[in-house]
Amino acid sequence: MAKDTDPQHLSLHTLSAALKQRQITSADLTEQMLERIAKNDSAGVVFTAVFEAQAREAAQQADQRWSAGTPLSPIDGIPISIKDLFDVEGLRTLAGSRVLDHVQAPVAQADATAIARLKQAGAVILGRTNMTEFAYSGLGINPHHGTPLSPWDRGTQRVAGGSSSGAAVSVSDGVAAAAIGTDTGGSVRIPAAFCGLTGFKPTASRVDQTGAIPLSPSLDSIGPIGHRVSCCQWLDALMAGEDQKTLWTTAAATALAKGENASRPVLGVPKQLVTEGMDETVAQAFAQATEALQRAGFVVQEVDLPELYELATMNASGGLTAAESWQWHKGYLQHEQARYDPRVAVRILRGEAIDAQAYQRLLDQRQDWITRVHTKISAFDALWMPTVPVVPPAVAPLLESDEVYAQTNLLVLRNPSVINVLNGCALSLPFQVDHDGAPVGLMLASVANQDAALLRLGQRCEAVLTAMQ
């Protein structure tokens, strides 16, 4: 394969064009990635399962379709990875745990809906990726399978972010062209930020979650990780069940309408919470990126949102995540708690104290909070903030201290979880102050069902940020 078609940093659009022009084949592309997995992931840290035979067969079928001029979609034949919590027909779904394997959980009778739709579009599913056990942490540490590492400063060994840790590393390390994860409090956007990638959290109801092990059904969403905003657009549209014909058009591929290019988007930066505690690298990146957007014609204004401070109180008892995860896990925890990651189990167990009345109160508080915040931000095209206020932390201190782990986890989840509570959509864009510097994620976010508009705005921001790096 030619060097300029190495998939490590190529968008899905570039790979699709190369397949169409027969510059590459899906078989070669898939084989290269399987070889990289075998060479670089022999310990199984990034992938918990690799579907070698199925991937090769799917690639061969895709090549036949491209040769005949009848591809199923623009991503036909492109290899992607999926998080370990998605059902795959004929296999057990383990969600990064040992528990579900030990109790011999039922074999999936069908693929998860999102994965089935990607297969129907011709995607080559390489395998399942590692994750925080049961998706309950923003750091990505897994004591059962090992901890995937951020591509930055590998010598120090820094977390890739969670819970979709292996998903992001599979893309950053060039062993998948894109990845599918889930996001309950930032679990797509945090690893995207820590690995220098683009991650999209759609409105929760946009992608059918059937066949995905839940963490908190009120907050869960399914989203993609890729190299470009356009990668996320394609994968999101396919998983949402949109008409595939629109993906072939130039307008859908670029998502840049002439009228939108001429407009001056207004971005709101919350005055409270989201810029607090930024380290020097993130603060510098956020300032530089904001100035660049302003020079490009964006209007950036502060918005007063003291409501953000209410989230700490709302979640003091564990919040909706603890309440809802307890309902799913309580049967397993009664008999198998010793097989859980203790740092995951302790968080789920907080939900035991949240009775039906307290749970309903949480739901009511959330809806009231959404209404008040929505009113304040409706005038903005999007909110603008750091995805995470710090660069990827080193693994060792997190393993050594439960207190450091807990504090760091709360800090990492703080900004992205705002949007999950809001029931909004959000996009994390990569940015680096220096060419070899730490990856930083910068987040655009909006209210529910503004996904398409946010992705179009994300492409405009991406063009500005890419030009200055």
- Is residue 42 one of the residues assigned to a domain? yes
Active-site residue, 376 included: no
pTM over 0.75: yes
Q: How many domains does the chain have?
A: 1
Residues β-bridged to residue 385: 443
First to last CA, the chain: 28
Q: Determine the 3-state secondary structure of 18 from DSSP.
A: helix
Q: Hey, what are 150's tokens?
A: 């951020």
Active-site residue, 446 included: no
Long-range contacts of 374-378, Cβ-Cβ distance < 8 Å, separation of 24 or more: 374/422, 374/447, 376/303, 376/304, 376/305, 376/307, 377/268, 377/303, 377/305, 377/447, 378/447
- Is residue 36 one of the residues assigned to a domain? yes
Decide if pLDDT at 181 tops 80: yes
Active-site residue, 172 included: no
For residue 163, cis peptide bond before it (omega within 30 degrees of 0): yes
Q: Hey, what are 432's tokens?
A: 């680096």
- The CA R_g of the chain, rounded to the nearest whole Å, is 21
Residue 6: band (very low, low, confident or very high) from pLDDT cuts 50, 70, 90? low
Q: What is the pLDDT of residues 187-244, one digit of tens each?
A: 999 999 999 999 999 999 999 999 999 999 999 999 999 999 999 999 999 999 998 7
Residue 148's domain comprises 3-263+384-467
Residue 40: band (very low, low, confident or very high) from pLDDT cuts 50, 70, 90? confident
Q: What rounded mean pLDDT belongs to the chain?
A: 94
User: Nearest CA to 343 among 129, 143, 95?
Assistant: 143
| pLDDT computed for residue 438 by the predictor | 97
- Is residue 23 one of the residues assigned to a domain? yes
Among 137, 187, 221, 446, which one carries the catalytic annotation?
187
- Is residue 90 one of the residues assigned to a domain? yes
In degrees rounded to 5, what are phi and psi of residue 49?
-155, 140
- Is residue 359 one of the residues assigned to a domain? no
Distance CA 193, CA 444 (A): 12
User: Nearest CA to 182 among 213, 160, 142?
Assistant: 213
Residue 180: band (very low, low, confident or very high) from pLDDT cuts 50, 70, 90? very high
Ranges 6-10, 355-359, 439-443: which has the least confidence: 6-10
Distance CA 376, CA 399 (A): 40
| pLDDT computed for residue 250 by the predictor | 44
Q: At what angle do helices 229-239 and 113-120 cross, to 10 degrees?
A: 110
- Is residue 414 one of the residues assigned to a domain? yes
What share of the chain has pLDDT > 90, as a percent? Answer: 91
- Is residue 246 one of the residues assigned to a domain? yes
- Is residue 361 one of the residues assigned to a domain? no
Query: What is the rounded average pLDDT of the residues 400-424?
Result: 98
| pLDDT computed for residue 247 by the predictor | 82
Query: What is the rounded average pLDDT of the residues 282-309?
Result: 98
Decide if pLDDT at 153 tops 90: yes
Q: Tokens 């979880």, residue?
A: 417
Ranges 29-43, 68-82, 203-217, 257-271: which has the least confidence: 257-271
Decide if pLDDT at 449 tops 50: yes
Q: In degrees to the nearest 10, what's the CA dihedral of 292, 296, 298, 304?
A: 20
| pLDDT computed for residue 41 by the predictor | 79
Distance CA 120, CA 102 (A): 32
User: Nearest CA to 152 among 199, 200, 193?
Assistant: 193
Kindly report the CATH number assigned to the domain that includes residue 155: 3.90.1300.10
Among 163, 170, 172, 221, which one carries the catalytic annotation?
163
Among 83, 97, 165, 172, which one carries the catalytic annotation?
83
Taken in order 350, 353, 356, 359, is the CA torsion positive or negative?
negative
Decide if pLDDT at 69 tops 70: yes
Q: What is the pLDDT of residues 250-280, one digit of tens each?
A: 434 444 444 455 589 999 999 999 999 999 9
| pLDDT computed for residue 246 by the predictor | 75
User: Nearest CA to 47 among 191, 156, 164, 221?
Assistant: 164
Residue 445: band (very low, low, confident or very high) from pLDDT cuts 50, 70, 90? very high
| pLDDT computed for residue 202 by the predictor | 98
| pLDDT computed for residue 260 by the predictor | 52
In degrees rounded to 5, what are phi and psi of residue 75?
-95, 10
Decide if pLDDT at 158 tops 60: yes
